[in-house]
């Protein structure tokens, strides 16, 4: 009788353990390095193509899109970077703006292609209607072919709000290709270290049937320039966990998320 009860308990427990194990792996792990081969490639930036990169803070544009920005400029695309916040959460606006200028200059942008919205760092939740209006006016004025925006489930509230509002704004416009990038997320990027021999890969929990991740492979020069640009953000590299996180984006590739 006891053996029969134990057997039932074990048989009942196995699916539960397997389910929890699957959920844990899905929530905490990224794809193996070999999975880079199954990710489709993003299309190359084209001559005269209008591309806008929306960056919540000084550094997001470089760590997420620094390679693609370089290629777009090399291919003679028309590139704009919109810096949304003032980066002044720790009273370092002047320093962070200077770092932003230095980094984007390395990527190939002149100051005239940088737009500063100057919203308070960390407080975008207070300005949703104003953000909507500013984003709408920018899209309407510049009529981009492509936009790169924060993914709406980024763990950082400024990124999340920016991504959500931008997606809402962009729903009013046709024929704009929308690419989303990820910066803040549990266990991403992995491993948390600078290694130019590794690929960036998405967390498993971000995979679904309604969207896909695209890869953008950087050449050696683009990797080196992106690395140099990231290290212009000395104010951020002096603080944990950013001093580990930012260099972890110096990889062979960048990844972008699109919805079907």
The rounded mean pLDDT for the chain is 91
Bridge partners, 214 (sequence order):
256
Q: How confident is the model at residue 8 (pLDDT cuts 50, 70, 90)?
A: low
Average pLDDT over residues 104-131: 98
Place of tokens 């390095």: 33
DSSP helix/strand/coil, 152? coil
The pLDDT of residue 15 is 62
The pLDDT of residue 240 is 87
The pLDDT of residue 57 is 98
The pLDDT of residue 209 is 83
Q: Has residue 174 got a pLDDT over 60?
A: yes
Task: Give the helix/strand (H/E) hosting 256.
Answer: strand 253-259
User: Domains in the chain, ordered, with CATH?
Assistant: 48-259 (3.40.50.10320)
What digits encode the pLDDT tens for the residues 229-244? Answer: 999 999 999 988 899 9
Work out the percent of the chain whose per-residue pLDDT is above 70: 89
The pLDDT of residue 21 is 44
pLDDT higher at 31 or 146: 146
What digits encode the pLDDT tens for the residues 50-84? Answer: 999 999 999 999 999 999 999 999 999 999 999 99
Q: d(Cα 196, Cα 218) in Å, to the nearest integer? A: 10
Contact of 61 with 69, CB cutoff 8 Å = yes
- Who contacts 64 (Cβ-Cβ below 8 Å, separation ≥6)? 148, 181, 182, 183, 249, 254
The three-point CA angle 130-260-152 to 5° equals 35
The pLDDT of residue 214 is 98
Q: Has residue 25 got a pLDDT over 70?
A: no
Q: How confident is the model at residue 3 (pLDDT cuts 50, 70, 90)?
A: low
> Which stretches of 65-222 are assigned E, i.e. beta strand?
78-85, 114-119, 146-150, 177-181, 211-217
Contact of 183 with 237, CB cutoff 8 Å = no
What digits encode the pLDDT tens for the residues 178-219? Answer: 999 999 998 799 999 999 999 999 998 888 888 899 999 999
């Amino acid at each position: 009788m006891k053996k029969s009860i134990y057997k039932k308990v074990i048989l009942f427990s196995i699916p539960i353990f397997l389910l929890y194990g699957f959920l844990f792996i899905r929530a905490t792990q990224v794809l193996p390095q070999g999975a880079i081969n199954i990710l489709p490639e993003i299309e190359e930036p084209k001559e005269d193509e209008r591309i806008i990169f929306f960056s919540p803070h000084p550094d997001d544009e470089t760590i997420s899109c620094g390679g693609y920005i370089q290629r777009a400029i090399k291919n003679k695309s028309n590139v704009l970077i919109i810096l949304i916040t003032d980066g002044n959460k720790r009273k370092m606006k002047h320093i962070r703006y200077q770092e932003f200028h230095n980094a984007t200059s390395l990527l190939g942008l002149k100051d005239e292609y940088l737009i500063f919205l100057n919203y308070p760092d960390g407080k975008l939740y207070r300005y949703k209607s104003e953000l909507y209006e500013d984003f709408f006016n920018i899209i309407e004025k510049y009529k981009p072919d492509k936009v790169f925006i924060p993914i709406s489930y980024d763990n950082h509230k400024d990124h999340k709000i920016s991504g959500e509002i931008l997606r809402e704004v962009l729903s009013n416009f046709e024929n704009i290709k929308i690419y989303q990038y990820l910066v803040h997320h549990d266990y991403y990027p992995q491993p948390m270290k600078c290694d130019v021999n590794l690929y960036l890969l998405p967390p498993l929990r971000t995979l679904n049937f309604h969207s896909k991740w695209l890869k953008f492979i950087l050449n050696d020069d683009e990797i080196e320039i992106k690395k140099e640009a990231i290290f212009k953000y000395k104010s951020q590299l002096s603080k944990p966990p950013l001093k580990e996180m930012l260099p972890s984006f110096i990889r062979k590739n960048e990844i972008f998320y699109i919805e079907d």
